[in-house]
Amino acid sequence: MSNTDEKNEKNDIKDGFDAGKMSVEEIFTELDRTLSGLNRENVPLEEGFALYKKGIDLLKVCNEKIEKVEKEVLVMNEEGDLNEYK
């Protein structure tokens, strides 16, 4: 990871972001970046904790988005009509 990437990652942690506005794919990309940050050698404790918290927050939002989509999935009943998945 380059110094620029590390600086951007630290800014993301400090400045925060709105994961609710991100797509599931964007959240997965951000999770990957967050995990890369955690896997670096010599990560300071405070930064590691901030990255961990960010990852948990991202997972929560991702889970909510996936649950919402699951509830909106339509299933076909025996008569061929589409009903909302429950």
Please tell me the total count of domains within the chain. Answer: 1
Judged against a pLDDT cut of 70, whether residue 76 lies above it is answered with no
Judged against a pLDDT cut of 50, whether residue 35 lies above it is answered with yes
57-73: pLDDT as tens digits: 999 999 999 988 877 77
Strand ranges for 1-86 from DSSP E: 74-76, 82-84
Judged against a pLDDT cut of 80, whether residue 14 lies above it is answered with no
> What residue numbers bound the domain in which 54 lies?
3-84
Q: Residue 11: what pLDDT?
A: 44
Report CA Rg, the chain: 18
Q: What is the pTM of this model?
A: 0.67
